Structure 1
Amino acid sequence: MTGKRTRYSAEFKAKVALEALRGELTTVQLAAKHGIHHTMVGEWKRQAVEGMAAVFSGQAAAQETAKSTEAEVEKLHAKIGQLLVERGFFGQGVRTMSLKRRRQMIEPEHPRLSIVRQCELVSISRSGFYRYPAGESPLNLELMRLIDAQFLETPWYGSRQMARHLRREGYTVGRKRMRRLMARMGLVPIYQRPRTTMPHPEHRVFPYLLRELVIDRPNQVWCADLTYIPMRRGFLYLVAVMDWATRKVLSWRVSNTMDVEFCLDALEEALAHHGRPEIFNTDQGSQFTSPRFTGVLQRAGVRVSMDGRGRWMDNVFIERLWRSLKYECVYLHAFETGSEMRAGLTKWIGYYNAGRPHSALAGQTPDEVYKADAMTRLAA
């Protein structure tokens, strides 16, 4: 393939990133709207968030200074040999970057290094530079919806068993496709695994603190979890913070990318409106093991607890929330946009908190139990 790589302007990237930050459309919808690959949407959104942080951290000024010296650097490169140019290319640490980031480092118009040589230097094939994987097909999106529904019924299904189930439903699918789609959705079967691999090798994993602990009052233990939300085209991710004892949903956020930012937003809203718990429990997902997330909790004086690897039952109450939410709301409505989904979730979660009696709460709603305890403490 001899075509040139498309170069997008900063204005175009900013426009797409702002739409992604609004969260109205899925990454698939944004990619189709602007004629780009869906991985670019997530990458530009991440760059926009980092860029906004740089504005307030003083890094923007440094970046401007660096830009002013680019012309001088280019003149210097013109005077030195090919070996030094290649060393400079390596000096940017490209080998430690992901495949996507390494691909972006290649400069098709570089005056001294050919595309073939640049691909060799960053350890990717030339075809790997030109080829961008296609977005999920309508069939795969339909399979992901079916996987999601079945996983609620049988959360112990791995890729092999899920493939068998869908073949019985009339779909010609293999285990490799199931493994890839389940990984894309963030689904992990609940069987016990050895704790030898962590979601992020550089993040600290905290011990599980809830074993044999009697949890009988509000704000004693909060928990949080992420789930996949299917839409008519594509999918979004939902995070929620719940009070363990009362089952009350304290805050929630929706995002088109599975990053730490929207999890932090939900956590900070819960802390701002409901005080702080004694213990905060999550799974070992990289969003929750992120130092940014755990740092907020530690600075607030909250003890951090994390489920054992693959231990679905350790966070069972919020898993039951997902089941109810999907069967009573998500699967009954083919949401088209992020605003439609937010409106639907706002209505259902309001009903769940204030109007849906729980047998575990003696027929009371989460709001009633949570508020009754607050009134009792005030009276005392």
Structure 2
Amino acid sequence: MYPKIDFLYLSEPDMIDAGVLDAARCVSVCEETFSLLGKGDYLMGGANHNNHGLNIVFPKETKFPNMPVAGPDRRFAAMPGYLGGRFDVCGNKWYGSNHANAQKGLPRSILTMMLNDKDTGAPLALMSANLLSAARTGAVPGVAAKYLVNKDAKTASVIGCGPINKACFAAIMTQLSGIEKVVCFDVFLDKANEFARWIEATYHVSAIGVDEAEQGFRDADVITVAASRLKPLHFKDEWIKEGAAILVSGPFNTDESFLTNCKIVFDHTPLQEAYVEDAVASGNKEAYYSGVIGGPFYRLIDAGKLPSLADSTGLGDVVNGVKPGRESAKDRVIFIACGMAVFDISWGFDLYKNAIDKGIGQSLNLWEKPSQA
């Protein structure tokens, strides 16, 4: 087949045809990925092989007229990785983000995903990745719901009513058949009401929209958090009922009394350790902690009020039966997900294989014969 190289291009409509919106399948693939993480059959960026990715963050001021300056959620990021198991492939998610995109009718982030042969580096597929990324972001708490939420859960809360939490809720619902009532919180009530209407139409359960955070947290058996980085979120210990599970996919803060009196499960503890390494290297740990999802935990670990990350529980260990997840129906459990390229790789690879089997997408030619061989 070599030296000629062709690769597959998948547009967003192609990705939909290939099954990117299949939440149940995505949860299954992400559960498989967690197992590989727990076994160590993966690589990500950085010298520690566990970095979330590499960001370009723009300066507040610049003397260069064409260089972008800092703005809300404005950055570029590359998230490379290798995943073993049946995937056995390398990949990189690349995205640019800018909150001002909404003024142009665009999503906040625009993402693409490239899969590459692990041996030659040859491209296998280039795909639209907004729906891919949202689906895998949602599927991660979907896996957590399978292992950490009480199976008789009847009430759910959605904290932050944007597209990411829609993917999270869809994935969580593949694992919880007993949900009867959903409360949707957003600082913008119209968004909360719109989300509630979608839930009622899609899942035929009772749903209401609220714009007071306490209403969103109280009395819920399972809570999915994916609030905006631009709107700081704080919930109180007293709002969280016995036996509740909080599945966190976005920034938050809460009372120290809650974090020191709940069961904590991280997506992957080496990833969290890499965040702390980056915080130390930044020279301003406190500022760094304020910008990452795990920040509230890192502060308490530094203060000796929580076990070290090395002694903490990752979901891969729970999936593999190495460590327990929920140990009692009365446990209050919090799950922290920060996002990893290996999930984009696994879900992207699965969709790539689907596309090939179904004849979806466009074949593009890199070269017939390389000029520099």
Q: Same fold (TM over 0.5)?
A: no
Larger radius of gyration: 1
Report TM bin, short chain: under 0.3
Q: Name the TM-score, length of structure 1 as normaliser.
A: 0.27
Q: Name the TM-score, length of structure 2 as normaliser.
A: 0.28
